[in-house]
Amino acid sequence: MKAWLWHHFDTFAATCARFARAPVATLFNVGVIGIALALPAGLYVSLVNLQVHARTLASDPQLSVFLALDTGRAEVEKTEARLKRHPGVREARYVSREEALKELKADTGLADVVDSLAQNPLPDAFVVQPRETAPQALEKLRDEISRWPRIAHVQLDAAWARRLEAGLKLAHLAVGLLAALFAFALVAVTFNTIRLQILTRREEIEVAKLIGATDPFIRRPFLYFGALQGLAGGLAAWLIIWAGLWLLNGGLAELAQLYAARIELRHLSAGDSASLLAFSAWLGWLGAWLSVNQHLAQIAPR
């Protein structure tokens, strides 16, 4: 057991030394792998950030019922009672035009513009929580309420978020397909790299077989090389994504100040980062395993 562990440690050290002996080639190979992995991983990070912000902007589907500007108090109370009696309405909250104006000033950061208005342009409104959230039921309720007297407009909120969720699911599928293509490219790069190493060390492998070296013994350095190269490529991809997000967050900070909002892109989580590194190392190992198994069988001692 001790000898087996020592051989693994010695193989690992020899592989690292091989990387150090060819720094330029290693840098280019790791760079190619890092860019190939950074593209799908970066798109995944973008989708995760978009999904997080979409969920914070819209929760459950709701209806915004806007009354006509000249609606009197008695008509407002009549509409409120009718909404609360409706079997399709779970909750109806009245928002006066004065309250709506205060929320506009607080949320948009346009207090100076709002204060300069001669009169309040906002109507009285109701925020309606429906009992059913199916698209057909929401549209039916919207069309019914819009025909009531003194109703100027009915806005179906969060409909865009539902469309966005559907679009994000499609985008996740596209990212998965793109990741599969780049994973195949990473395996191909490692496969060719190991093939060239086997060809340049053909005589050494033949001698090793003559003195009784087993295939697992000969295969082990190449597998370490592939796994470490893949791991380094995954680390390069992580750094590329981190640098890209750092630059984007710097620009978004200025934009967020202008809109009085907090906008910040999140980096890969610890779990996602570990998955990226493990996946890249596994792809490198897989490419090396496929290459060495194919070419090692063609080398026989003379």
This prediction has a pTM of 0.63
- Asked if CATH classification 3.30.70.20 holds for the domain at 62-157, the reply, yes or no, is no
Query: From CA 45, how far away is CA 200, in angstroms rounded?
Result: 40
User: Using CA atoms, how far apart are residues 210 and 215, in angstroms rounded to an integer?
Assistant: 12
Take residue 40 and report the two structure tokens written for it: 């799908």
**Residues pairing with 127 in the sheet:** 64, 93
Task: Please answer whether residues 94 and 81 qualify as being in contact, where contact means their C-beta atoms are separated by less than 8 angstroms.
Answer: no
Give the Cα separation of 241 and 239 in Å (integer).
Answer: 5
DSSP state of 153: E
E strand spans, the chain: 62-67, 89-95, 125-130, 151-157
Q: List the pLDDT tens digit at each of the 302 positions of the chain.
A: 666 666 667 676 777 777 777 788 778 888 888 888 888 888 888 888 777 766 555 556 788 889 888 888 889 889 999 999 999 998 999 988 788 777 766 666 666 665 666 677 788 899 898 888 776 788 888 899 999 998 988 888 655 656 766 777 787 788 888 888 888 888 888 888 888 877 777 777 777 777 776 777 777 888 888 888 889 999 999 999 998 888 887 777 776 666 555 667 788 888 888 998 999 999 889 988 888 888 776 666 55
What residue spans define the domains of the chain?
A: 2-57+162-296, 62-157
279 contacts: CB under 8 Å, gap ≥ 6: 183, 234
Q: How many residues does the chain have?
A: 302
CA–CA distance, 162 with 99 (Å, rounded to integer): 28
Give the residue from 5, 27, 41 showing the smallest Cα distance to 243.
41
> Which residue, among 15, 13, 30, has the nearest Cα to 239 in the 3D structure?
30
Helix H or strand E encompassing 258:
helix 215-258
pLDDT tens digits, one per residue of 227-275 = 888 899 999 999 999 988 888 877 777 766 665 556 677 888 888 889 9
Which residues make Cβ contacts (< 8 Å) with residue 1, sequence separation at least 6? none
Q: How far is CA 216 from CA 16, 296, 301, in A?
A: 19, 10, 16
DSSP letter (8 states) at residue 298: T
Half-sphere exposure of residue 120: CA atoms within 13 angstroms, side-chain side: 15
Q: Return the amino acid letter for 82.
A: R
3 state DSSP class of 155: strand
Q: Which of 280, 200, 216 is nearest to 22 (CA)?
A: 200
Q: How many Cα atoms are found within 13 Å in the side-chain-facing hemisphere of 243?
A: 9
Q: Look-up: residue for tokens 């190493």?
A: 197
C-alpha separations of 269 from 42, 51, 158, 279 in Å = 13, 15, 28, 15
